[in-house]
Amino acid sequence: MSLNKLSLLVALSLAFTACDGDDPAPSTEGGTAAGAAPGGTAAGTTPGGATPGGATPGGATPGGATPGGATPGGATPGGATPGGATPGGVDGGAMTGGTTPPVEERVGLGDTAALGCSGAYCPSARLTGLTIPADAAAATAGGCRLAGSTNGTALGGLLALTGGVDTNSFVQPDENGEISLVLINQLKGWDAGLTGNAAGELLANFYTGARAAGGAFEIDPVSLQDDGTPYISFPGTTVTDGLLRTPTSTFTVNLPILDGVDLAVRLDQAKLEGDVSVDMTGFNLGAGVLGGYLTKDGVIELIQGLITACTSPMPPAALSGPICTAVGTDANETLETLSFLAPFDTLVEEGAPAAGCAAADCNALSVCLLVEMSSVTVTGVAMP
């Protein structure tokens, strides 16, 4: 590594660490949300009363236990992971030498109860738990099944620049009751009185939102296209035996990593699954797994967002000092430096993502987010 690159890495690390304040005390409030970033976001609550932001969402490792109590895909193939994570992935787990072994398909806990809520946006839920697994072994235990040697944990390497980000705090109220990241998920087409199995194919719509009167929420119009449809949706979503599963789509998560600066993380070929239950308010999602791929172009967009903020007439205070100096003005040059912290581990082209690519050919980071959601009432679209 050249001296210039080493200096940039040190500058970035020191700069972001200096900006990383104390995390707000986690809240145990279930079923509230506010202000998500335009374009959509993702996170989840801890249905069932586990304290969001504290223990791993859902109490147990999210996605770790599946119906019948077995780890998704059965026990880790080959038994316990020898020596923990190994180069190329988890030995006997998600990855060995950069390939994914066959795993037993996840199944649901059983059909849901009949849907009891009503209204145009019933049933809906808010993102109240959001965790990035610490390593490939933890990702496998959480239910992540992505191509790439890191099994979805590469994004953590980029966020390490901030001195350690508590992503769960993004979706929980701070000491003033404010929520940095609000994402609302509506399962459109699920009619009252029907169970998940009877509901058939659904349209999973995602909106950014804000608090409304009486603990309800309303949709931020910036998350809607000109024709009123959401920018992010998953047609063909199903809830079979209580297991929600979406097809692949593009999903954008705006993460408030720095105060006053939302950085867009665009996941290509993203999909969501998790255990669904319903109540009189909406639906809840437990042990949720949102996986996708942050391509080279997506990383450049993220860096360009920082450069744009740094070169604005009045940059946010969080970007003052050495951060903007370290980021510079050339996104490609900064990308080359950041690749030392989080090298691409997947090849994303036409068709399915491929692991085991040569360093020069890999063009994406595998990203896995462990999420929880809690039921909410949505009153409608907020006035612009």
Q: What are 299-356's pLDDT values in tens digits?
A: 899 889 888 888 888 888 877 667 788 788 899 888 888 777 778 999 998 778 988 8
Task: pLDDT band for 277, please (50, 70, 90 cuts).
Answer: very high
| Token output for 273 | 């699954």
Task: Give domain status of residue 350, yes or no.
Answer: yes
φ, ψ dihedrals at 53, nearest 5°: 85, -10
Instruction: Specify the higher pLDDT residue, 91 or 149.
Output: 149
Task: Give domain status of residue 176, yes or no.
Answer: yes
pLDDT score of 102 = 53
Q: Is the pLDDT of residue 208 over 90?
A: yes
| Rounded Cα gap, residues 288 and 133, in angstroms | 13
Provide mean pLDDT across the span 273-289: 98
Would you say 240 and 164 are in contact if contact means Cβ atoms under 8 Å apart?
Answer: no
Task: Give domain status of residue 368, yes or no.
Answer: yes
Instruction: Specify the higher pLDDT residue, 351 or 202.
Output: 202
Beta bridge partners of 365: 294
pLDDT score of 275 = 98
Task: pLDDT band for 164, please (50, 70, 90 cuts).
Answer: low
pLDDT score of 161 = 55
Task: Give domain status of residue 58, yes or no.
Answer: yes
* Predicted confidence (pLDDT) per residue in 363-378, tens digit: 999 999 999 999 999 9
Task: Give domain status of residue 80, yes or no.
Answer: no
Domain tally for the chain?
1
| Rounded Cα gap, residues 45 and 335, in angstroms | 33
Q: Is the pLDDT of residue 71 over 50?
A: no
Task: Give domain status of residue 77, yes or no.
Answer: no
**Least confident range of 85-89, 159-163, 297-301, 325-329:** 85-89
pLDDT score of 251 = 94
**Least confident range of 76-85, 315-324, 355-364:** 76-85
Residue 300 burial (10 A CB sphere; 0-12, 13-18, 19+)? middle
pLDDT score of 35 = 38
Q: Is the pLDDT of residue 9 over 70?
A: no
| Token output for 299 | 């990383």
Provide mean pLDDT across the span 5-30: 40
Task: Give domain status of residue 74, yes or no.
Answer: no
pLDDT score of 64 = 39
pLDDT score of 289 = 98
Residue 141 domain boundaries: 3-64+86-381
Q: Is the pLDDT of residue 101 over 80?
A: no
Q: Is the pLDDT of residue 44 over 90?
A: no
Length of the chain: 384
pLDDT score of 152 = 92
Task: Give domain status of residue 39, yes or no.
Answer: yes
pLDDT score of 25 = 40
Q: Is the pLDDT of residue 1 over 60?
A: no
Q: Is the pLDDT of residue 10 over 50?
A: no
Q: What is the pTM of this model?
A: 0.73
Q: Is the pLDDT of residue 94 over 60?
A: no
Task: pLDDT band for 43, please (50, 70, 90 cuts).
Answer: very low
User: Which has the closest alpha carbon to 179: 209, 157, 199, 158?
Assistant: 209
| Rounded Cα gap, residues 323 and 13, in angstroms | 9
Q: Is the pLDDT of residue 142 over 90?
A: yes
Task: pLDDT band for 157, please (50, 70, 90 cuts).
Answer: low
